[in-house]
């Protein structure tokens, strides 16, 4: 029996098989994405940045949240509230409460990873204003998710009533609480996923790599869509208390967020593979290319253009000496307007 303290008839009504299958698929895809990113850090660019660490932390938190969610299916998650075994209530409510800050931390870290990745892209540019704006986004996202976590953990008086409903006290209504926290999360999503467009849009010369990066990061808004769908599920929680789909969409949202934060790494790896295929002798193992933004580096902005200088190979014989039967020539440079020559 999967559902503890439940009869076979009740377990038959549980949606735990669907829940576990979806979680397994999403965690597998997330693990592949994180493994590729780790491979890129270890054997590709060999540089681990704050964005990489934030992604790894987010993946670990998402995995913990998924495990907690699957454990809840053994305690009745997936069943209608009226069918859930009353013997499992205490453990179920404790796990549900404990999973909330883990979920919020997972969301916050992958959004911070996106912001740190954007900062890493423009770190050697003169776009000071954009760097300031991105750092502001990091602060807003961090504070916003701290506020969400506090709201989800301190919504009852006394606090322990949140995981022990038998205690006397009062709690905020689930509807306004979940709708409000979901709205803040969606706003933070829009901040984080708008950064690639803010960085790349002003560029005049977009090569294929950057254009592909824009297209791939567009799929990052799938996370926002998951947030919206999850917010819609709040209505079900308010009506009958069933949080099955609310938690499931939380797992999907966190997994897609981690995958999306790794997409820029995939872009660099694709570029390196294409170069290796086109020119095997020049195969490049530096897959950190997604952080090299054409036209925005300090070298590109401060470089000296030598359009009016033509390199020539003018040769003038100015001195010949024969020593021991060998001809010795003296090299002398010749500079002319519009021409760089070498004199012998």
The pair phi, psi for residue 163, each rounded to 5°, is -115, 0
CATH code for the domain of 212: 1.20.1070
Is 299 a member of any domain?
no
pLDDT of residue 1: 84
DSSP secondary structure code for residue 79 in this structure: B
Number of domains in the chain: 2
Is 2 a member of any domain?
no
pLDDT of residue 211: 63
Q: Are residues 167 and 243 in the same domain?
A: yes
Q: Are residues 235 and 323 in the same domain?
A: no
Q: Are residues 308 and 274 in the same domain?
A: no
Is 1 a member of any domain?
no
To 10 degrees, the CA torsion angle through 288, 290, 291, 293?
Answer: 140
Provide the β-strand partners of residue 341.
334
Mean pLDDT by 10 residues, the chain (344 residues): 91 94 97 90 75 94 97 95 92 94 95 86 78 90 94 93 90 88 88 73 58 64 87 88 93 93 70 60 47 44 38 45 50 44 38
Give the structural domain span for 308: 304-343
Is 283 a member of any domain?
no
Is 181 a member of any domain?
yes
pTM value? 0.76
CB 65 within 8 A of CB 250: yes
Provide the β-strand partners of residue 79.
77
Q: Are residues 134 and 208 in the same domain?
A: yes
Q: Are residues 35 and 84 in the same domain?
A: yes
pLDDT of residue 122: 78
Residue that is last in its domain, among 261, 278, 295: 278
Q: Are residues 318 and 196 in the same domain?
A: no
Q: Are residues 178 and 241 in the same domain?
A: yes
Q: Are residues 240 and 313 in the same domain?
A: no
Q: Are residues 237 and 310 in the same domain?
A: no
Q: Are residues 134 and 271 in the same domain?
A: yes
Tell me the C-alpha distance between 231 and 224, whole Å.
10
Is 63 a member of any domain?
yes
Tell me the C-alpha distance between 249 and 227, whole Å.
8
Both tokens assigned to 133: 């704006």
Q: Are residues 224 and 335 in the same domain?
A: no
Is 258 a member of any domain?
yes
pLDDT of residue 208: 59
- Residue 125's SS3 state is coil
| Helix ranges restricted to H, the chain | 8-12, 16-39, 50-74, 89-121, 128-153, 174-200, 208-218, 221-232, 234-240, 244-278, 298-302
Is 287 a member of any domain?
no
The residue among 267, 272, 263, 290 whose CA lies nearest residue 121 is 290
pLDDT of residue 315: 43
Q: Are residues 169 and 250 in the same domain?
A: yes
């Amino acid at each position: 029996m999967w559902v503890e303290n439940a009869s076979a008839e009740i377990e038959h009504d549980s949606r735990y098989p669907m829940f576990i299958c979806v979680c397994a698929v999403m965690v597998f895809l997330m693990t592949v994405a994180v493994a590729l990113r780790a491979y890129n850090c270890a054997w590709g660019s060999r540089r681990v940045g704050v964005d990489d660490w934030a992604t790894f932390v987010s993946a670990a938190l998402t995995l913990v949240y998924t495990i907690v969610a699957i454990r809840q299916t053994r305690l009745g998650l997936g069943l209608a509230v009226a069918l859930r075994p009353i013997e499992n209530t205490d453990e179920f409510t404790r796990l549900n409460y404990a999973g909330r800050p883990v979920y919020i931390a997972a969301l916050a870290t992958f959004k911070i990873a996106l912001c740190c990745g954007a900062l890493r892209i423009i770190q050697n540019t003169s776009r000071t204003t954009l760097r300031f704006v991105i750092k502001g986004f990091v602060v807003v996202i961090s504070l916003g998710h701290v506020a969400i976590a506090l709201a989800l953990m301190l919504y009852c008086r006394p606090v322990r009533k949140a995981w022990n409903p038998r205690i006397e006290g009062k709690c905020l209504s689930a509807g306004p609480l979940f709708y409000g926290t979901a709205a803040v999360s969606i706003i933070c999503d829009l901040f984080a996923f708008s950064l690639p467009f803010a960085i790349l849009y002003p560029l005049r010369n977009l090569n294929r790599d950057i254009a592909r990066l824009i297209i791939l990061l567009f799929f990052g808004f799938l996370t926002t869509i998951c947030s919206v769908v999850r917010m819609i599920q709040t209505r079900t929680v308010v009506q009958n208390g069933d949080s099955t789909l609310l938690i499931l969409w939380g797992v999907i949202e966190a997994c897609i967020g981690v995958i999306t934060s790794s997409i820029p790494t995939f872009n660099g790896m694709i570029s390196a593979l294409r170069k290796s295929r086109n020119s095997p002798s020049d195969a490049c193992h530096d897959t950190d290319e997604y952080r090299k933004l054409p036209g925005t580096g300090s070298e590109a902005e401060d470089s000296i253009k030598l359009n009016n200088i033509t390199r020539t190979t003018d040769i003038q014989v100015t001195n010949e000496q024969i020593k021991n039967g060998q001809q010795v020539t003296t090299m002398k440079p010749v500079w002319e307007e519009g021409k760089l020559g070498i004199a012998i």
